[in-house]
Structure 1
Amino acid sequence: MTQTTTVSPYRADEHGFFGEFGGAPLPPFLVEPIAEVAREYAKASADPAFQEQYQALLAKYVGRPSLLYFAENLTAKLGGAKIYLKREDLNHTGAHKINHCLGEALLAKRMGKTKVIAETGAGQHGVALATAAALVGLDCEIHMGAIDVAKQHPNVVRMELLGAKVVSVEEGGKTLKEAVDSAFGVYAANPEEYFFAIGSVVGPHPYPSMVRDFQSVVGREARAQVLEAEGKLPDYLIAAVGGGSNAMGLFDAFLEDEAVGIIGVEPAGEGLEGSRHAATMTLGTPGMLHGMHTKVLQDANGEPSAVHSIASGIDYPGVGPQHARLEQLGRATYVTASDAETLDAFQLLTRTEGIIPALESSHAVAHAVKLAPTLPADAVIIVNLSGRGDKDVDFVAERLAQQSK
């Protein structure tokens, strides 16, 4: 009798393809360095000692499990479904990013690398990687668009205090896409010494799967926690999507539960009718970006478009290939929230629950504000509160002051 193995349609194949999306289309000089990462990650995944070390750090250093918090005041104010917040903002360094940064830093150390290099937008990935590098004894270099350096100055200071070299990228739009380009250029020149620690479920194989795996602790915890609290699975999951790491972290444990609705929220920015948005899933088309085939916002020449969001961490013209596949299969729905809606949600959560969310996370909150009143009182929504808003308070204060004039 021949035994067959069923592979989930939601997983990548051995070449890193989620259906037509993903892969590793790279210039020849990067093929072997990235293949080495794939080989070593496969070994580490199967190594109980590596997994034990990683899980111990999540518990004893990050402070996991993070809370699943019933937002009782917000629920009462909106009416309708119960809203739960998965409190990734309570992690050490204040966001979900530490989950994969620790894994990547441990893998870099295992591979004998001496430096980690990465991009960052809002600065949370940069802070988390600088933290992990300090912990395991690696040098750290972070590339950040000049606009974001100014906008997220407190995180720049944190990275430098942690010993990281912060490179301000002045080219192009001076935001996240350019930061990725810049960091990739340095890595490509010296892959023997550097480990590229991509900050989301994007890039060439194995990064979309590897970062998702490290982030999947979020969904596993949430699944167990909501079953304990409510005795059932949630009706909806909601998370912000730029590259999509916090969203995949929450979604992963529920993909086979077809009754659970999955919603990703991306930036509508100043409106979908113009170019001042980052709504890749809504308006993007298949294309190549940063070593992957995925959905991309492209100009008339097929180049990645300039994008905008009030939240620096999700102003990216692409998206993780697994998200593109989930949409294609109809397993997840992708909607948008504007800058104005996001700012309103930021203030609403702050004033009703005493929780200041990151502007990235506020996109997800904004959609929950719309959805909850349309559902019955016994429905349950889990919102991934991917980060805290300390980094955003000065920028928000400036925006609110401008609006009041």
Structure 2
Amino acid sequence: MDNLSNLPNPDGFFGNYGGKFVPETLMYALKELDEIYAKLKNDPKFLKEIDQDLVQFVGRPSPLYFAKRLTDHYSGPQIWLKREDLNHTGAHKINNTVGQILLAKAMGKKRIIAETGAGQHGVATATVAARLGLECHIYMGAADVKRQSLNVYRIKLLGAKVHAVDSGTATLKDALNEAMRDWVTNIEDTYYIIGSVTGPHPYPMIVRDFNAIVGRELKEQSLSLFSQYPDAIIACVGGGSNAMGIFYPFLQDEDVDLIGVEAAGRGLQSGEHAAPLNDGKPGILHGAKSYLMQDTNGQVVDTHSISAGLDYPGVGPEHSNLKDAGRANYIAVDDDEVLTSFHQVTKLEGIMPALETAHAFAALDHIVKNYSSNQYLVINVSGRGDKDINTVATMDGISLD
């Protein structure tokens, strides 16, 4: 297999996917970002500052935890959990924002913008902006503002302004559209912290690199705790940043199965889902080519997922390439499976996963049969479920008012 770790190429392509499909207005800003990142990514002083922040501010390394009761429940392979939910702000998103805010600082930008679905990236962005005293604006679909009200309030407490987006389906796709419009309008003083491995080059590469700390830690921890690399790594995939971060350091370790889990929503056959790698085709969205949910005319179609963070019609270009290359396998689980898994993990392990993460746990029902009791599965616990309590209660027919 080709060295997938060497991608993207200089034009920002991972195989057939990626690139920079943006208005001319943004080309200079992307070129400037590419150049500053190329200069700083191997700079000892820059890397030392990031490492210090990850330890002292984020709380890394996150533990690798043996889920004994979950393992006993499935009577199969050993199940271990990479606990990104224990990071400051409660998810993997802070890894990326800690890095990107330092890029913004190096570029002299005074205004920060971001899009968010489940709100975790919005919280993480508002957190690092507050720390540096920078103006911050978060774009969020109106539907997500409603179902993620706790995170909306957290963002406001941190001093950022939340812009509710009513257009389209009022979800993550539409929030990203509005953030892009803001960026075009305020290009001189504004830095856009994209939250996933999507968007135009160099963002998919930058977000992956800052999240790859997860996979690098896992390499060390797995050798220390069970004397080998995992037999499989499982992570949920929307845009795909948590999955790409844990997958990337293992791309050349072909004995390690990489399993991404998309949102099948109300079922792949229903069309009401957010699983472009399972039921989509290549297209261009938000500045990059990737697998995309679209109709026969190439128009982006509406998506549905119980989880706001996975409710997106596209996916990162690197995931698209990994699918075509056969290096990663992508499956999908539906809302009912996710809700069942949320309750199961909470009761068995005392760990309440985010609904996004619950997709990865739900995949166990489909894949444990492929592994024996002397093999090791690692699930990336990308976030904690506090933010989803209202959604879960509503689905369970319980009113919290």
Q: Once the two structures are superposed, what CA deviation does each residue of 1:338-380 show, in whole Å capped at 9, x if it has no partner?
A: 0000111100000000000000000000012332244211010
Tell me if 1:378 matches 2:381: no
Residue identity over aligned pairs, in percent, reads: 50
- Of 43, 47, 52, the match for 1:51: 47
Q: Distance in 1 between matches of 2:65 and 2:386?
A: 19
How far apart, in 1, do the equivalents of 2:351 and 2:365 lie?
15
Q: Residue 331 of structure 2 corresponds to which residue in structure 1?
A: 335
Tell me by how many angstroms 1:248 deviates.
0.4
1:162 to 158, 161, 168: 158
Native 8 Å contact 2:3 2:252 kept in 1: no
Q: Is 2:219 aligned against 1:215? A: no
Deviation at 1:54, TM superposition (A): 0.6
**Distance in 2 (alpha carbons) for counterparts of 1:204 and 1:298:** 19
> Judging changes above 3 Å, is the alpha-carbon distance between structure 1 residues 348 and 155 closer, same or farther for their aligned structure 2 residues?
same
**How many pairs align?**
398
Q: Is the 8 A contact 1:292 1:321 kept in 2?
A: yes
Say whether residues 1:174 and 2:170 are aligned partners: yes
User: Among 275, 287, 292, which residue is 1:296 paired with?
Assistant: 292
1:135 aligns with: 131
1-structure distance, mates of 2:226, 2:363: 22
TM-score normalized by the length of structure 2: 0.97
How do 1:237-252 residues align onto structure 2 when only pairs under 5 Å count? Answer: 237-252=233-248
Q: Contact 1:101 / 1:132 at 8 angstroms: preserved in 2?
A: yes
SS of 1:273's partner is helix
Is 1:85 the counterpart of 2:81 in the alignment? yes
Contact 1:79 1:373 in 2 (8 A): no
CA distance in 1, matches of 2:8, 2:198: 13
- Decide whether aligned partners of structure 1 residues 9 and 249 sit closer, same or farther in structure 2, where only a CA change above 3 A counts: closer
Q: Could you tell me which residue of structure 2 aligns to residue 13 of structure 1?
A: 9
Contact 1:10 1:322 in 2 (8 A): no
Answer yes or no: is the 8 Å Cα contact 1:81–1:375 preserved in 2: yes
**For residues 300 and 143 of structure 1, what CA distance do their matches in structure 2 show?**
30
Who is 1:273 aligned against?
A: 269
Residue 114 of structure 1 contacts residue 139 of structure 1 at CA under 8 Å; is this kept in 2? Answer: yes
Runs of 4+ off more than 3 Å:
6-10
Paired residue type of 2:387: K
Please give the alpha-carbon distance, in whole angstroms, between the structure 2 residues aligned to 1:105 and 1:314. 24
Q: CA deviation at 1:9?
A: 5.9
TM alignment of 1:279-358, pairs within 5 A: 279-358=275-354
SS in 2 for 1:75: helix
Secondary structure of the equivalent of 2:70?
Answer: helix
> Which amino acid counterpart does residue 44 of structure 1 have in structure 2?
L
Q: Which runs of 5+ in 1 are unaligned?
A: 1-5
Letter in 1 for 2:312: Y
8 Å Cα contact 2:4/2:251 also seen in 1: no
Q: Which residue does 1:234 correspond to in 2?
A: 230
Measure the CA separation in 1 of the matches of 2:290 and 2:15: 10
CA distance in 1, matches of 2:385, 2:42: 36
1:96 aligned to 2:88? Answer: no
SS of structure 1 residue aligned to 2:263: strand
Hey, what's the Cα distance between the residues in 1 that align with 2:367 and 2:60?
Answer: 29
Q: How many Å apart are 1:10 and its aligned residue? A: 5.6
Shift of 1:139: 1.2
